[in-house]
Amino acid sequence: MLPIGRKHAVCVTHSTKLFELKVGNRTIVWAQNPISLENNSEPQPDLVILKLRDDFYAEALPTPVRIFH
């Protein structure tokens, strides 16, 4: 995977902040972190909006059922 460039990093950071302001404390904005898929892959999408968990997914990576569609 290519390194993340400055423009990409700024875009993801800006988008993350916009989503955080919009959804508040009801969700987690998961930026460039892995998610766990059924085929044993762990892609790292730029941004995912997750259902809130008290442990902030420390015990297990988020799965599709925890991702807002």
Q: Does 33 reside within a domain?
A: yes
pLDDT over threshold 90, residue 2: no
Q: Does 1 reside within a domain?
A: no
Q: What is the pTM of this model?
A: 0.83
Q: What is the model's pLDDT at position 4?
A: 86
Q: Does 22 reside within a domain?
A: yes
Q: What is the model's pLDDT at position 33?
A: 96
Q: What is the model's pLDDT at position 24?
A: 82
Q: Does 44 reside within a domain?
A: yes
| Residue range of the domain that includes 46 | 6-66
pLDDT tens figures, 27-59 = 999 999 999 999 999 999 999 999 999 999 999
Whole-number percent of the chain with pLDDT over 70: 99
Q: Does 26 reside within a domain?
A: yes
Q: Does 20 reside within a domain?
A: yes
Residue 32 to residue 16: CA distance in whole angstroms: 10
Q: Does 40 reside within a domain?
A: yes
Number of domains in the chain: 1
User: Which residues touch 7 (CB under 8 Å, ≥6 apart)?
Assistant: none
